[in-house]
Amino acid sequence: MIRVAILLIALLSGGAASWLALGVADQPPAAAVEIPQAPREEVLVAAAELARGAVVEEASLRWQIWEGEIPPVFISRSSRPDAIEAFKGKFTQSGFVTGEPIRDDKLADHGAGFLSSMLPSGKRAIAVRVTAESTAGGFILPNDHVDVIHTVARQDPSGGDSKIISRAILSNIRVLAVDQTVSEGADGTSVVGKTATLEVDPQQIATIAAAEASGTVSLALRAVTDNHEPPLIETDGNRRGVVRFVSGGQTSIIEVPSRAAAPRASSDAQNVAVAY
């Protein structure tokens, strides 16, 4: 009797399992969830490292797959398929590393306006005569920041020996170019030239011009960590006067700092004539 009961229980369990299996099999398969694919587009990038001021060639650019949304400043192949041909012959206003997306605002057309396109708004470019000795041994390169030193020899009115006076007239000035080179050499070597083009404010042009006319100008290289300091701007507290030295029938003009405590008839620079 017990054996018959066990057999019936086994048959009932098998039948229930078969019924459940058939019920699951009859259900429709669940719909597959589609995961949206990120847009795949090509953007224009630098095929090799491009230094600041380099000429863009066809081999310098290539198209590269960009995953995700493309920023508006980047150049996509769908929007400008002829970009490589269009950018050929342009200059780079800043350097590019390999694989960096090309931006239209970092390129300039070839021509006389290249340096002017590199100047920020409100700035001016002025060239000064330099030598290897007056440019930190020739190690001052484009895009370095320097202090401008003015050196002048003053004759003693009493007949003694002349005195050599040096002073910093400007600080934290960016070097735009050395001669006609706007970037350092490919091997990182120094660029020794006869002129250095400086980026200055409009009110600093006269200071440099007067310094060159009355003496010599040297450039002192600044540390990169000091480049955040604002350039020296002349204010009423350090406004410079003009001194005319007359000696042997020759007149020389030198700018000198006006003493803050000295009374002034106006805020303009004073003119003082000294004859000896």
Give me the residue spans of the domains in the chain.
Answer: 42-108, 119-237
- Among 67, 184, 193, smallest CA distance to 136 is for 193
Radius of gyration of the chain (CA): 37
Q: Which residue has the higher pLDDT, 265 or 45?
A: 45
Q: 238-262 in b/e burial notation, b at 16+ Cβ within 10 A?
A: ebbbbbebeeeeeebebbbebeeee
Task: State the pLDDT at residue 267.
Answer: 35
Model confidence over 187-221: pLDDT tens digits? 555 566 788 899 999 999 999 999 888 888 989 88
| Position 89 pLDDT exceeds 50 | yes
Q: Which amino acid is at 67?
A: E
- Among 160, 26, 36, 174, smallest CA distance to 94 is for 174
Task: State the pLDDT at residue 162.
Answer: 76
Model confidence over 3-27: pLDDT tens digits? 767 767 776 777 666 666 666 555 5
Stretch 43-66: mean pLDDT: 89
Q: At 26, list the tokens.
A: 């009859």
Task: State the pLDDT at residue 74.
Answer: 93
Model confidence over 32-50: pLDDT tens digits? 666 666 567 899 999 999 8
DSSP state of 192: -
Stretch 224-250: mean pLDDT: 57
Stretch 219-236: mean pLDDT: 71
| Position 101 pLDDT exceeds 90 | yes
Q: Which amino acid is at 139?
A: F
Q: At 7, list the tokens.
A: 């057999």
Q: Which residue has the higher pLDDT, 121 or 64?
A: 64
- At residue 140 the predicted structure's pLDDT band, cuts being 50, 70 and 90, is confident
CATH topology classification for 42-108: Type Iii Antifreeze Protein Isoform Hplc 12 (3.90.1210)
Task: State the pLDDT at residue 269.
Answer: 37
- At residue 261 the predicted structure's pLDDT band, cuts being 50, 70 and 90, is very low
- Percent of the chain clearing pLDDT 70 (strictly above): 61
